[in-house]
Structure formats: C-alpha cells, structure tokens
Amino acid sequence: MKEKTSRIMIVDRSEVARSIISHILQKEMNNTYIVTCGSAEEAMEHLHREKFDLITTSLLLPGIDGLDLCYEIRKSGKQHLTPVIVVSSDADRRLLREGFSAGVTDYFNKSLGYKRLVEFIKDVSQRHSGIVGKVLYVEDSLSTAQTTQNLMERHGLHITHTTNGEEALQLLKNSDSEEFDIIFSDFFLEGQMTGGDLLYAVRTQLHYSRQEMPVLVITIEDNKKCQTEIFHAGANDFVTKPIKEEVLIARVK
C-alpha cells in the first residue's frame, strides 16, 4: 500500500528559517510535501488552492500576524480542523488565551531550536493522523451533550454519556481501568457532585494518575480562578465554552 503524503505548510518571515525547517523535515519525514510562505497573505493564497495536513506559523509576520492567520484558517471550510502550531519565543498567558480562542492547536517555544521544532511537528502530525478511543462524557445539558457527542463521534470516538457526577463515578467504579481512555466533564454540574468533585474523586478515591486516566474539563471562557482550580484538582487540560471543534479534538488527541 502506498504511504500517504503529509502536506505541511511553513509560514515564517525569515527565508533562512523556512529553508532550514523545510530541509530538516524532508530528511526526517518520508513522503512529505512542503510549502513555505513568507507572509500570512502568501499562505492564504495557497490555502485557497490546496489543503494541508498541518500548518506551522511564526507569531510575528509582515502584515497580519500568526494569530490573525489562524483566525482566517478556522473560517475556511476545508481547513477549519487542520492543526496549527504557532512558533514564538514569548507566549505569555494572555497570548496563550488569545491563541487558543483563535483556534491555535499548540505553541512551540522558538528558543528550543529548529531540530526540536521538527520533532514537535512530527509528533503533532502523528497525533492528528487518526483518532480512536473511549470517552466518558459528563454533561448535564442534553442539547449541549447531543451536539458535542455527535462532533466527537464524527472523529471516530466511542462516547458513553451521563448527566451527573454520581453516575459517572459509579460507572468508573464498576469498570476496569481499560473501559475508558479519557473523561470529558463539565466543571459545573447540577446535583450534589460537581465536575470538580468528580475530578477529585477520580484522583483520590480511585487513585487514577493523570497518565492512567486523563481528564479534560469544560469551563467558562477566561475564568482564570476556575482554570487554576481545575489544574489543582488534577485535570490534564481544559476547553472553554463555547466549544470549538478543532480545539476539542486537539485536546482529546
């Protein structure tokens, strides 16, 4: 069987950087088609004509910057799920929030060097080449649950949905450690057990580590205090409402 060609776009204002990254990628990844662009405008011209499997862009570009480019990519019908890596040497918290809201899949610290960047690109590319797994989904809003469940199932995930933390905890107690690959829960659940209580029980009662049972939490956009509580309770990561398909799938992967 013929191996699938990976189509990668590199956007960087530095011609030297584009050349180095492209050269290392060609050596490290078989069957890779690479397009390099010096600006967001040039990138958009290519994106109107062809589809890519992964896009990496510098934050600082001539004209519109990397985050604005990501906004444009997410508005595109055929590229709205394509992984986008933003390369920056100063990704502070504000920038991270803005980037993830724009639909950035991940950040890479530019100071780590080109070889590490290529390794990072390879890892993201492999993670996004396909998705399988069993999700325990805890959401008390039936309309939200239906929409989000359909979204995840379109990507090949098997979903077990429950509306409250008590039932979710009971399902976990009655199943072995391989029954679910990840828990995806709203942090604010109606009933006696909140999403935070469920997360605490998973870590302290069932003694699942972050590696053994990843937990992805849904929270309110830009609620910094809540996000801090989520990580202290033992979450692996979070997504904010309203849930964006490309961001959710990237986090699950």
Using H for helix, E for strand and C for coil, what is the string for 60-83? CCCCCCHHHHHHHHHHCCCCCCCC
Nearest to 160 by CA among 190, 185, 197, 128: 185
- Cα–Cα distance, 183 to 252 (Å, whole number): 10
Number of helical (H) and strand (E) elements in the chain, helices listed first: 10, 10
pLDDT mean across residues, the chain: 86
Residues 6+ apart with CB under 8 A from 113: none
The crossing angle, in degrees rounded to 10, of helices 195-204 and 224-233 is 20
User: What pLDDT was estimated at residue 3?
Assistant: 47
User: What pLDDT was estimated at residue 23?
Assistant: 93
Say how far residue 142 (Cα) sits from the centre of its chain: 24
> Mean per-residue pLDDT for 20-33?
89
Please, which pLDDT band fits residue 4 given cuts at 50, 70 and 90? low
Q: Are 137 and 160 in contact (CB under 8 A)?
A: yes
6-127 CATH pick, 3.40.50.2300, 3.40.50.720, 3.80.10.10, 3.40.640.10: 3.40.50.2300
Nearest to 241 by CA among 138, 100, 135, 131: 100
Q: What is the DSSP letter of 202?
A: H
Q: Are 5 and 32 in contact (CB under 8 A)?
A: yes
Portions of the chain given CATH number 3.40.50.2300:
6-127, 133-252
Give the pLDDT confidence of 48-69 residue by residue, as tens digits.
988 898 999 998 899 999 989 9
> Mean per-residue pLDDT for 156-170?
93
Residue 47 has pLDDT above 70, yes or no: yes
Give the pLDDT confidence of 79-137 residue by residue, as tens digits.
777 889 998 887 666 666 777 777 888 889 888 998 999 999 988 887 766 666 889 99
Question: Which strand (E) or helix (H) includes residue 180?
Answer: none
- Residue carrying the six token digits 């910094």: 224
pTM: 0.55
3-state class percentages of the chain: helix first, strand second, coil last, to nearest 5:
45, 20, 35
Percent of all residues in the chain with a pLDDT value above 90, rounded to a whole number = 45
Please, which pLDDT band fits residue 245 given cuts at 50, 70 and 90? confident
133-252 CATH pick, 3.40.50.300, 3.30.70.60, 3.40.50.2300, 3.30.465.10: 3.40.50.2300
Residue 244 has φ and ψ, to the nearest 5°, of -100, 130
Give the pLDDT confidence of 201-211 residue by residue, as tens digits.
999 999 999 98
User: What pLDDT was estimated at residue 132?
Assistant: 64
